[in-house]
Structure 1
Amino acid sequence: MINYRTYEAEDFLFDASFRQWTTESSPQAALFWNRWLAQNPDRADVVRQAQELVRALDAHYRDDATENRLADELNRLVGKAVEHRDTELDVPVRPLGQRLWWRWAVAASVLLISLSTWLFVNRAPKPATDPYEYLTKTVTLPLQEKVNTGPKAINILLSDGSVVTLNPNSRLSYPERFDNTTRTVYLSGEAFFDVMKNPAKPFLIYANQTVTKVLGTSFLVRAYTGEKDVTVMVKTGRVSVYSQKDYELAQQSGLRRVEGVVLTPNQQMTYNLEENKLVKALVAKPAALIANRPSREQVFEDAPVDKVFSSIERMYGIKLLFDEEALANCLVNLTFNEENLLERLDVICQTIGASYEVLDGQIVITSKGCH
């Protein structure tokens, strides 16, 4: 039986079961290694080091990360390291399959240096002229993209009910459905975000080397490619802004605290790309923020509900599907100001006894009508 307690980080790399546990969803491998790690907690640091090396190799060969490919690369690195050390010590080179413990001891230091150098060269992200292009091509979750090439802002309804007002010459990429942990989108250009509140699922905007994190609020992000600054201005709620490098480093290392800037209404953050510096300040002209989207105030007195829905469609640029004949007798008296899209629909539907759901970027309203 293999004595894994004697293994160092480089030894684990040659174990197929260990690599399956690290890079694949193998129940059998997971059961074995989780149990072994629970029984040998003092080996956790060595195992963690080995996993980082395996993941780096797997990421480098993401399109062809077969067991043979990974094993060949490991064997090549080990062989090169041992050959180099054996040459220096004038020791005959044995076949790689005869991995005697004395040879591992001799080659270990050279192997780790070789692996560290290889990982630094191959694991580091290749420089991208456009951070937006790089991020949207490397993310694992399928994305759909909206591009605004027109002269006016357009509104985009996301699957969680959040609304993004995308300004001209801007692009937004987002998943059709968000995953179970976060709501992540990618922006190039300028957009106003009206985010639905969900404390259990943070909303993240990646924009030109910055990450903006919110739970539910409204704010503007300006991050055009070619401009030296990224700007975030808050209308309502609280917003946290980080440099992308600091945010991702904290996520990878498991740190709970990451240096950033917290913004409240009428505050803004400017991130200088050349100096990698976050600067917090007051918004000089709050009205300029509101000018990037339509007025939010709506007043309806004895208004047919189909007219109310039409007004909301024009304001948000989002299609509302409903049965006009069934709602022909429905009249409402309502005033809206700071409510977001779904809050307005909640009020209307409660008033007329209707319900709605978000489907494929549209809102479907169901009602038995008014009598």
Structure 2
Amino acid sequence: MDYKTYKTDDFLFDESFRQWTAGTSPEATAFWEQWLTQNPDRVHVVRQAQELVRALNDHYQDDATDARLTSELRRLVRNAAERREAEAADTPSIPLGQRISPWRWASVAAVIILLGFGLWRYGNVNRRVAAESYTHLTKTAQVSLQETVNTSDHVVNILLSDGSAVTLRPKSRLSYPAQFKATTRVVYLDGEAFFDVVKNPAKPFLIYANQTVTKVLGTTFLVRAFESEKNVIVTVRTGRVSVYTQQDFEKAQQSGLRRIQGVILTPNQQMIYNLGDHQLMKALVEKPAAIMPETVSREQVFEDAPVGKVFATIEQTYGVKLLYNDDDLSACLVNLTFTNESLLERLDVVCQTIGASYEVLDGQIVINSKGCK
């Protein structure tokens, strides 16, 4: 194949070129890097094509197959060529020196392709967001729903048919059935609410909220998902929840997949879903609260205690996982007294005592230490 004759838009239809640009094929990468070394005069057009491929990949990979991308590309390029021919036929003869170069036409075609795909993408995203909205979901639900809307400036308490309790915050609304189905418990939220879900492993509890689905078996947690805001936040107080994008969750349901890519949260962890980049991010809450308040309320004394015992007590009190090397810390003994310090204040004291440090990564706390002599 003579790639030397390729124009910018020709590269878009070359699978090997697209793989190289996306970095998904070592063979393609080796070939194209060698080819560019041998054909330095083609660097400009190749870079131009790469920019276009990256733009297409960044914007359309989540809802467009390769076949559809190729089909749309061919259609847009064909339309651009037809326009160019029509314009040429209607334009008086132009001296050779004043004619638009092929490179200029390639740039115009690239712009047309991007604009066309941008409009297509914009329409697809708008249709998908509309299909995931609170209004659409409640109207198309397979069961009859009742709705509670909190227009007051104080919380409203709701008791669901299974005994689960919901504290609905101001400017929020919740739709739910009078009686849950035999296999699942599904509710729809627009706004902010605290859930205290009755445990029932046989009937998962699902909260649909602003392009996300939170799945629990029985726990307490907070969901903030106003359709007017850019982020969805799920914060766990006790137990364990799983959070998914609605798109991934429904695809898995339709295909029968048991494993779904999502985020698993435990006490004092939270998930932040950004509606702009469609990313689920796990983090530690700003002020971790004790899941065993009675432990924090009384004085805790450690005399010549292994630091591992102190860490185990902290984990049990706050439900937060501490990651550290047992062997490195096996010789570390501490004398400490805790009264009403917070989680992070306790960690500060312990780490200063043994000459260690800590960092929060992915909703967990990592202890860094060289050990004690």
Query: Is the shorter-chain TM-score for this pair beyond 0.5, marking a shared fold?
Result: no
TM-score interval, smaller chain? 0.3 to 0.5
